[in-house]
Amino acid sequence: MWFVISGVLLIALKLADAGPFGAWSWWWVLSPFALATVWWWWADFTGYTKRREMDKMDARKLARRRKSLEALGLDPRAYDKQQRKAMAFRNSRQRQADKVEGKRGAKRQEQRDSILSSRFDSGHASSGIDSVQATQQATRQPVDSKR
């Protein structure tokens, strides 16, 4: 908005031929409008305007909630305190759950590593069929080729 205001002010000064502004090129006088366009594009592209709009809506919602609580005879500060306590409790429960899950994950990883390190070296047989044939040859059983 400041770019637009300064652009209008510069146009007025240019048209009035006041001071050094009368000698400026029109490109310099109109440049705040280009900057305003770039600013608006950036604000929309990054979501800045949407966040500001959401913040205003949240403030209106909070004011409406406080007004309703006061109309019911409840103290909004006590309500806010209760909400903060509930949020702190939920956060602590989440931290506890994350801690337990972290321990479980570590134990699972330890068990997985233990199982993987205790397996026999499977480099002798590249597939299940080779291992079956190797086992049958070791026990000298005839291979059934009809399977």
Residues 86-133 pLDDT 10s: 999 999 999 999 999 989 988 999 888 888 887 654 554 455 555 556
Mean predicted lDDT score pLDDT of the chain: 81
By three-state DSSP, how is residue 133 classified?
helix
3-state SS, 6-49, equals HHHHHHHHHHHCCHHHHHCCHHHHHHHHHHHHHHHHHHHHHCHH
Highest mean pLDDT among 26-40, 71-85, 121-135: 26-40
Distance CA 102, CA 97 (A): 8
Burial (0-12, 13-18, 19+ Cβ within 10 Å), 32: buried
Q: What is the pTM of this model?
A: 0.40
